[in-house]
């Protein structure tokens, strides 16, 4: 059986209030937009596939994509809430912040619908599971996200907004298994997937990162419904492209490989430019491949990976709704 899984992190701050403000126009989201606007000048941009909020978002909709231009580099400037704005703003400034947060919600929901349509076009199959990192979709501000992403299966809650995970999809095919600081595990149609947002204090240290994955292994081997991990997907903050497969292999005591060749260029499935745009990374600066899918060679027969951009859509433009690219995999177990 083939399974399609997608992951993308928002850029949320360290707030204990997991609301829209914590994820709207944050520092690296703004940086990502400036990067993308420079990479996609006039005549290029983001591909917007047909969607219809009146039907289930995981239904395939026919029709060509629209090419939507990137907004000006400064588009997100001033849209983030700060302590000063929260305490000292006049009514007009508060209305601007509310409008920015409403737009952010629309962009997240719009991207969730796009992910379902990207799956049909890039993987020729419906998306079975979508996980958003740095989001607590159980918060009232995010209450409508399930209508776009799929049923809420599980929310991994932590004190800080940036440490949360939200798991969405058909409830009859996915079971939440376990979670910890920087990770969340779910079994989707038999595939045991671990979604990661590796903490910065261990991400670049080989021994600490190996211990991070070893702790995951020990937890899942001693958890009902757990077992051997088939694939790790998410934001690793790795210092080099080969780092994650190395430390995962070390920590898990089995061989894991990056589904995306280190020598391959990164071409998002949802952007277009006449002469192409080869991205150098998945992060906001287009410099590092932080976001990966690393699979177990002993349990996975076949895997395909696609990246999708940080773009979502405003009324008539494309703008970054997060700082990192998303990762989509289609995989089949042995």
Would you list the DSSP string of 278-297? -BS-SSTTS----EEEEEET
pLDDT at 302 over 90: yes
Residue 26: what are its φ and ψ, rounded to 5°?
-75, 170
Range of the domain at 79: 2-333
Q: CB-hemisphere CA count at 13 Å for 25?
A: 18
- pTM of this structure: 0.96
Residue-wise pLDDT tens digits, 44-96? 999 999 999 999 999 999 999 999 999 999 999 988 877 555 655 677 788 88
Closest CA to 205 of 249, 163, 231, 244: 244
As for how many domains the chain has, the answer is: 1
Residue-wise pLDDT tens digits, 17-42? 999 999 999 999 999 999 999 999 99
Instruction: Tokens for 79, please give them.
Output: 């849209």
Euclidean distance between CA atoms 215 and 148, whole angstroms? 34
Q: The CATH number of the domain where 22 resides is what?
A: 3.60.10
Instruction: Tokens for 159, please give them.
Output: 């004190």
What is the predicted pLDDT for the residue at 329?
98
């Amino acid at each position: 059986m083939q399974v399609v899984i997608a992951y993308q992190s928002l850029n949320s701050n360290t707030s204990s209030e997991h609301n829209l403000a914590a994820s709207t126009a944050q520092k690296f989201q703004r940086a990502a937009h400036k990067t993308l606007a420079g990479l996609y000048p006039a005549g290029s941009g983001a591909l917007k596939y047909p969607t219809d909020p009146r039907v289930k978002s995981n239904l395939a909709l026919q029709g060509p994509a629209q090419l939507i231009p990137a907004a000006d580099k400064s588009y997100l400037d001033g849209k983030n809430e700060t302590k000063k704005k929260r305490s000292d703003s006049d009514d007009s400034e508060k209305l601007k912040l509310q409008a920015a947060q409403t737009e952010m919600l629309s962009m997240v929901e719009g991207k969730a619908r796009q992910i379902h349509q990207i799956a049909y076009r890039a993987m020729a199959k419906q998306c079975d599971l979508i996980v958003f990192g740095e989001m607590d979709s159980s918060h009232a501000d995010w209450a409508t996200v399930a209508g776009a992403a799929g049923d809420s299966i599980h929310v991994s809650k932590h004190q800080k907004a940036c440490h949360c995970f939200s798991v969405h999809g058909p409830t009859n095919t996915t079971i939440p298994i376990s979670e910890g600081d920087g990770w969340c595990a779910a079994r989707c149609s038999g595939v045991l997937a671990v979604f990661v947002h590796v903490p910065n204090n261990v991400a670049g240290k080989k021994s600490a990162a190996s211990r991070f994955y070893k702790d995951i292994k020990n937890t899942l081997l001693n958890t009902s419904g757990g077992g051997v991990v088939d694939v790790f997907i998410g934001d690793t903050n790795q210092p080099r492209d080969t780092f994650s497969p190395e430390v995962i292999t070390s920590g898990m005591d089995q061989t894991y490989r990056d589904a995306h060749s280190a020598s391959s260029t990164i071409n998002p499935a949802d952007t277009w430019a006449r002469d192409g745009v080869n991205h150098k990374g998945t992060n906001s600066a287009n410099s590092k491949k932080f976001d990966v899918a690393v699979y177990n060679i002993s349990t996975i027969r076949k895997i395909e990976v696609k990246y999708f951009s940080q773009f979502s859509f405003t009324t008539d433009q494309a703008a970054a709704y997060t700082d990192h690219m998303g990762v989509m995999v289609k995989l089949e177990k042995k």
